[in-house]
Amino acid sequence: MTPHLTKTPDGVKRCFWCGTDPLYVSYHDVEWGRPVGDDRRLFEKIVLEGFQSGLSWLTILRKRENFRRAFDNFEIEKVARYDQRKVRTLLADAGIESAINNAKRASELIDKEGSIAELFWRYEPPPSGRPKRLTWEVLKTMSRTTESVALSKDLKRRGWSFVGPTTLYAAMQAMGVVNDHLHGCTHRDTAERDRSAFRRPA
């Protein structure tokens, strides 16, 4: 068995980080690394990545339905219109205030350029900039990249908050701008086929 991969009795190999929790395994198999072009789903990923700080991603996944209820299913225009009364009902949390600010900035970005997703996909790294073989040792050195740093600067210039290069690289991984399933993972090839068939927003 390749290091940092797990294998189930049915022969499926997975990146080790998803463990055996069914929720995490499903996220790894079905969502992570699959290309996303929908602005609402992308906004949700950005917000949840911002809330992850100091927590495991599994903790966020377990609370995702609660987040969806609290944030009106991450409908950007609804969140952008939250007033102070709504903010107080959500608790005085810096992450929540950031989510509302970012909804307003996202709404502005959509009005100006048509799509948040289009902006994110502009920062897709060229194949020549990607590792030839993605192992856990290599991936550990890539918590931020040239592209995620540039995207972070772009969004901060537009008034976004809680969008540091590490947070944005995690979002890029989650929405398939990069395919960071480890080599040997059964789902790496599936994610890559989805990426090849995906029409980049323009």
49 is catalytic: yes
Residues 197, 66: Cα–Cα separation, whole Å? 33
Judged by DSSP in three states, 185 sits in: coil
Question: Of these residues, 49, 121, 123, 169, which one is catalytic?
Answer: 49
27 is catalytic: yes
CB count in 10 Å sphere of residue 194:
15
Distance of CA 129 to the CA centre of its chain: 20
Angle separating helix axes 146-157 and 165-174, nearest 10 degrees: 110
160 is catalytic: no
Question: Of these residues, 31, 57, 75, 118, which one is catalytic?
Answer: 57
Distance of CA 13 to the CA centre of its chain: 22
Residues 46, 16: Cα–Cα separation, whole Å? 24
Question: Are the CB atoms for 167 and 179 separated by under 8 Å?
Answer: no
Token pair listed for 11: 């022969």
C-alpha neighbours within 13 Å on the C-beta side of residue 129: 10
**Amino acid symbol at 103:** A
Please identify every residue annotated as catalytic: 27, 49, 57
